[in-house]
Chains A and B, each alone.
Chain A
Amino acid sequence: MARAVKTRTKLTFTIIGWTIGFLIFFPILWTFLTSFKSEGTAIATPPQFLFFDWTLENYHEVQSRSDYGKHVMNSIVISVGSTLLGLLLAIPAAWAMAFSPTKRTKDILMWMLSTKMMPAVGVLVPLYLIFRDWGLLDTRIGLVAVLTMINLPIIVWMLYTYFKEIPGEILEAARMDGASLAKEIVYVLTPMAVPGIASTMLLNIILAWNEAFWTLNLTAANAAPLTAFIASYSSPEGLFWAKLSAASTMAIAPILVMGWFSQKQLVRGLTFGAVK
């Protein structure tokens, strides 16, 4: 009998799991479905789930009204650029904290993280003014800089955790073998930390891709990434649910595909060290 109970428990949990999964996924599915409806069907009550007249009209409309390609390029440049710049700064920082820690290392790590606890809007005005004076408003460089700073604490934290797992003796061996600090990082530390660095990179690209507060506030037309592209279909021109959905689908598609293909790597990196 014990076995039967076990099977039933298993079944219950499976159903609960799938239900939660479906609930989480539902908004994305609904957005996807809505993007193929006409504006009228999109707001119809009761809502129509699958049996409506499927149309690609919204996609044509969105593409003709705004330049999707340009927004995609901006998103790619900003998210990849800020991630690479962040790694460039964070690898030496995490190296120093992991391998030559001082009494204050933990405090510095906490302090770095604490900057993430501050509401972003708190520094919007000063940062906006700095950007205006330096001519960085609506530029890719400006956004790369600001997103690097925003995500740097997370990159440093993640890398620090991965680096901690690497035995210090290996780096000492490299030092004995005549490697300079730079060579030690390039030839020994970085290759050994590749899984960790890769997952940090992926996570950071996703975070930067979806970042909406700064990208919306600091851009207008030239450097606007996909977040701004979505936003342009909401309030200013009234609510066009179907077009907004089409724009959202187009905006999340690339990162969704990337996330899907790299999920193994992502999970491996995030649990690095926890399970050997």
Chain B
Amino acid sequence: MGSITLEKVSKSFGTTTVIPEIDLEIDNGEFVVFVGPSGCGKSTLLRMIAGLEDLSAGRIVIDGKDMSNEAPAHRGLSMVFQSYALYPHMSVYQNIAFPLKMDGQDKATIDKKVRDAANILNLANYLDRRPGQLSGGQRQRVAIGRAIVRQPKAFLFDEPLSNLDAALRGNMRLEISDLHHQLQTTMIYVTHDQVEAMTMADKIVVLNAGRIEQVGSPLDLYRSPRNVFVAGFIGSPRMNLIEGPEAARHDAATLGVRPEHVKISTTEGAWKGTVGVSEHLGSDTFIHVQTESAGKITVRTDGDFTAEHGQPVYLTPDAPRMHRFGADGQAIQRT
């Protein structure tokens, strides 16, 4: 079991409020990602759930029990830190065994659990090494190993992949998702990388300045962002946000259209413009176009499309997939 409920949880440091009241339900076995820009309070929120930060107000309920004032160790949660936070003076084996040793389990049980975890994480050959002798990815696995041996109610990940290089990050992303399928344990994962959020989450919680902007499945957020912030944050490359007369023509203060929902043509279309930079990724091409009526627009098109710098082109947005936002930044429902 591992359901977590936040009830009117808030956090202030002195007079500065970092997190105004937050309510959130996390179901057993769910993979929840907290995503938002730096300083949005996502790490603080995670640390509050872990018990490393005190609550200013509100309750944290884990499996139906109020844990707001419990010590971190009593909450039955495991955490993987951004810096891995391995014990540098202990071997990999001792690192993974540490929580079990603190729990007072006997040597034989500890040994079995450590070896099981090491097998799951491909660490069996490194048990005698010190963290300093491991690569970044291996250290991350040790940190995860240390988290799984306790068989916690939930795992908390605090930006665990941000210290890894891009290729390794992709691999670890898959490994963590795999682990979630294997263990079926609740996971809460904090990241500022919306790609990680989209690819891993069952449920994404978008945070901005301590407030929850939207909660939903990755595709929910992608298809119907509730406001301009979520629209701009989820999706890569980011959604084109158009203001001014072109938006007003559609009865909106801001008009949003994703790069993949704009057609580009050399002959005809709704918005006339000239090609700026083209980014060729092979599979796709991102073309940045300066239009006359809609400003700067990014278009995602197939990898074979080529356009010269300065070439005149025409863009056509896919009307049913356009997003309209009012002056308050909130989405206007389609009628």
Query: Which A residues have a C-beta under 8 Å from some C-beta of B?
Result: 167, 169-170, 172-180, 183, 187-188, 191-192, 194
Contacts and interface: CB of A to CB of B under 8 A. Distances in A.
A175 B81 contact: no
A167 B83 contact: yes
Contacts of A169: 81-83, 85
- A173, A175, A194 — which one has the most chain B CB atoms within 10 A of its CB? A173
16 contacts: A167-B83, A169-B85, A170-B87, A172-B52, A173-B81, A173-B85, A174-B98, A175-B73, A177-B73, A177-B99, A177-B150, A178-B99, A179-B98, A179-B102, A188-B87, A191-B89
A150 B87 CA distance: 34
Given A169-B83, A169-B85, A172-B85, A177 B98 contact: yes
Contacts of A183: 102
Contacts of B146: 173, 177
Given A167-B85, A173-B81, A175-B73, 11 more contacts: A172-B72, A172-B79, A172-B85, A173-B87, A173-B146, A174-B98, A175-B72, A176-B77, A176-B79, A179-B73, A187-B98
A61 to B, nearest CB: 51
A175 B150 CA distance: 13
A169 B163 CA distance: 15
Contacts of B103: 178
B77 to A, nearest CB: 7
Interface in B34-90: 50, 52, 71-73, 77-79, 81-83, 85-89
Interface in B101-134: 102-103
A188 B98 CA distance: 10
Given A167-B85, A169-B85, A176 B50 contact: yes
Determine chain B's interface SS by DSSP, over half rule. loop
A167 B78 CA distance: 19
Nearest to A171: B85
Of the listed residues B78, B81, B86, B102, the one surrounded by the most CB atoms of chain A closer than 10 A to its CB is: B102
Contacts of A170: 85-88
A146 B8 CA distance: 53
A167 B84 CA distance: 11
A188 B146 CA distance: 15
A183 B78 CA distance: 18
Interface of B: 50, 52, 71-73, 77-79, 81-83, 85-89, 98-99, 102-103, 146, 150
Nearest to A177: B99
A189 to B, nearest CB: 10
A170, A178, A188 pick with most chain B CB within 10 angstroms: A178
Contacts of A176: 50, 52, 72-73, 77-79, 99
Given A175-B52, A183-B102, A192 B85 contact: no
B161 to A, nearest CB: 16
Contacts of B52: 172, 175-176
Contacts of A179: 73, 98, 102
Nearest to B52: A172
Instruction: Name which of A172, A183, A192, A194 has the most chain B CB atoms within 10 A of its CB.
Output: A172
A176 B154 CA distance: 12
A167 B79 CA distance: 16
Contacts of B72: 172, 175-176
A273 to B, nearest CB: 15
A180 B74 CA distance: 11
B14 to A, nearest CB: 10
Nearest to A183: B102
Nearest to A194: B89
A172 B99 CA distance: 12
B275 to A, nearest CB: 47
Most chain-B Cβ atoms within 10 A of its Cβ — which of A170, A177, A191? Answer: A177
Most chain A CB within 10 A, of B73, B79, B85, is at: B85
A172 B81 contact: yes
B155 to A, nearest CB: 11
Contacts of A174: 87, 98
Most B CB contacts (10 A, CB to CB) among A167, A169, A183, A192 go to: A169
A167 B81 CA distance: 12
A260 to B, nearest CB: 28
Contacts of A194: 89
A174 B86 CA distance: 9
A208 B78 CA distance: 45
A19 B86 CA distance: 48
Nearest to A175: B72
B11 to A, nearest CB: 17
A9 B86 CA distance: 48
